[in-house]
């Protein structure tokens, strides 16, 4: 997959900021299936700031790899603020990274509902030593569009977290 030039430029800026501040990143992905990690590692020198990525597409993988409690998934659904936050916290707990981004969503074309439409994505962020937060997005377009917009939004949120948190 080829990422948009703007997305690659944003990834490059993010990684340079991480290197400058000695911050390591980790990703935990569901609906993007590793695209966020792929975008970050497409930048030369990314190994100085990217520690690892988890692709936890199934609910079982979220539990086994990230420690997301199964009852959390049962009570809120895999696409929820609570699960995005737990994924981000789990990525920090199961890595040596300083900052995590986690994505869970409905990329379509099927799987949506009135409460959780196709395009709904939660992006969780966690920094070592602090509690996680999640941001809700509803993206438009087809599956590829939704996944691409999710990668761009996650990079933007990570960059904002770096700028806000030093």
Predicted confidence at residue 2, as pLDDT, reads 83
pLDDT category at 166 given cuts 50, 70, 90 is low
Please state the rounded mean pLDDT for residues 91-105: 98
Cα(163)–Cα(82) distance, integer angstroms:
25
CATH number at residue 96: 3.90.950.20
pLDDT tops 90 at residue 1: no
Q: What is the pTM of this model?
A: 0.97
pLDDT tens digits, residue range 121-159? 999 999 999 999 999 999 999 999 999 999 999 999 999
What domain range includes position 76? 5-165
- Can you say whether the dihedral through the CA atoms of 2, 8, 11, 12 is positive or negative? positive
Residue 122 burial (CB count, 10 A)? 26
Domain count along the chain: 1
Neighbours of 93 (CB within 10 A): 13
Given a contact cutoff of 8 angstroms between Cβ atoms, the answer to whether 149 and 142 are in contact is: no
- Locate tokens 């390591």: which residue? 24
Note the pLDDT tens digit of each residue in 47-87. Answer: 999 999 999 999 999 999 999 999 999 999 999 999 999 99
Percent of the chain with pLDDT over 70: 99
CA atoms within 13 A on the CB side of 166: 0
């Amino acid at each position: 997959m080829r990422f948009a030039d703007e997305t690659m430029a944003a990834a490059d800026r993010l990684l340079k900021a991480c290197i400058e501040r000695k911050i390591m990143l980790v990703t935990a992905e569901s609906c993007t299936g590793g695209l966020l990690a792929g975008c970050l590692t497409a930048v030369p020198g990314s190994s100085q700031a990217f520690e690892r990525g988890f692709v936890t597409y199934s609910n079982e993988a979220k539990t086994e790899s990230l420690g997301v409690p199964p009852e959390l998934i049962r009570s809120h659904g895999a696409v929820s603020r609570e699960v995005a936050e737990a994924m981000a916290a789990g990525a920090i707990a199961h890595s040596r990274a300083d900052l995590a981004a986690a994505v869970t969503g409905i990329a379509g074309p099927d799987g949506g509902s009135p409460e959780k439409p196709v395009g709904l994505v939660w992006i969780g962020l966690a920094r070592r030593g602090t509690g996680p937060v999640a941001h809700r997005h509803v993206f438009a377009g087809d599956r590829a569009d939704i996944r691409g917009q999710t990668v761009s939004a996650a990079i933007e949120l990570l960059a904002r977290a770096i700028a806000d948190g030093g």
